[in-house]
Structure 1
Amino acid sequence: MRHGFLRICRWLDRLTTWICASACAVLTGAVLAIVILRFGFDSGFVKLQNLAGYSFAVLLILSLPYCLRRGGHVRVEVLSERLPAGYGRVADWVALALFIVPVFGLLVWAWLPDLAYSWRIREGAIETGGLGGIFLIKSMLPLAGALMILQGLAVLLDPRLTDQ
């Protein structure tokens, strides 16, 4: 069961990596197009600006589970050099139990009514002539919360990720 869970988490991590890379490429292309259109041709498109904003939002929120899986999260390790070697594992378990699961679980639970409403009305662009589909972007927040919980558990259960 543990191996199946870790396999699913690795697949989700690869999917998250692909989505982040795609969002980064879209963001780069959109910003480049905005700059060229604005300063080269003195024109612009609201939809293109919305695309840049949407891709930035997706990249930012999905970077959290991506970073956690790779051990890139921020740690305040003032005392860890003086403590025994097993301190890091215990600190990770405490952080998962006290912070990651409750905080991101609350984020998912509290966001679901707003997300359901957004999907029900198929929430569109705020600006006139803007890019629709805000409900899809809003779906990334609970997705990232669930991925944070899953990736946090995977980091604790996968022996290859222990020494990060």
Structure 2
Amino acid sequence: MRGLFLNIAALLDRITRAACMVAVLLLVAAVLTIVVLRYGFGVGYIGLQDFANYAFAILLALSVPVCLAQGGHVRVEVISERMGPSYLRIADAVALVLFLIPAFGLLIWAYWPELRYAWQIREASIETGGLPGLYLVKTTLPIAAGLTIVQGIAAVLRAGPGEGASS
């Protein structure tokens, strides 16, 4: 069961990394196009600016679980650098149960009514001439929170007995 969960977490990480790569490529292309159009031709498009904002929001939200899965999180405690692998394993497990799961679970729970409403009204950009589909972008926040929980559990499982932590 542990192996299956870790395989699923690895697959989700690869998919999330791919989504981040697509988002960053779209963001760069959109910003470059905006700059060329605005300063080269004196033309601006609100829809294109919204597209860049949407790509950035998706990249930002999905970067959190990717960072955690790749061991890019930062340890705030000063004691951990002097402690052994068993301490780090226990500290990771405690942090997962006391902080990561409750915080990201609360994010999903508290954000759900707003997300449901955004889907009901098919929320779009507030800008005149802006893009539709803001509700789709807003959906990435609870997805990213769920993926962060999965990657946190996977990090603790990877650092099983006798293997050291994933910092």
TM-score normalised by length of structure 1 = 0.95
Q: After superposition, where does 1:1-164 map in structure 2 within 5 Å? A: 1-159=1-159, 162-164=165-167
Moved more, 70-79 or 128-137: 70-79
Instruction: Give, in angstroms, the shift of residue 87 of structure 1.
Output: 1.6
Asked whether the equivalents of residues 92 and 165 of structure 2 are also in contact (C-alpha less than 8 Å), the reply is no
In 2, distance between residues paired with 1:70 and 1:39?
Answer: 39
Aligned-pair identity (%)? 53
1:54 partner amino acid? Y
Deviations 1:86-139 (A, max 9, x none): 221111111101110000000001111111111011111110110110000110
Instruction: Give, in angstroms, the shift of residue 161 of structure 1.
Output: 8.5
Q: 1:163 to 1:152 in 2, by over 3 A?
A: closer
CA RMSD after TM alignment: 1.4
Aligned length: 164
In 2, distance between residues paired with 1:114 and 1:163?
Answer: 35
Match of 2:155, SS state, is: helix
Runs of 4+ more than 3 Å apart: 159-164
In 1, distance between residues paired with 2:58 and 2:134?
Answer: 11
Match of 1:81, SS state, is: helix
TM-score normalised by length of structure 2 = 0.93
In 1, distance between residues paired with 2:33 and 2:164?
Answer: 40
Match of 1:139, SS state, is: helix
Q: 1:24 to 1:161 in 2, by over 3 A?
A: farther
Deviations 1:21-52 (A, max 9, x none): 00000000000000000100000100100010
Asked whether the equivalents of residues 24 and 55 of structure 2 are also in contact (C-alpha less than 8 Å), the reply is yes
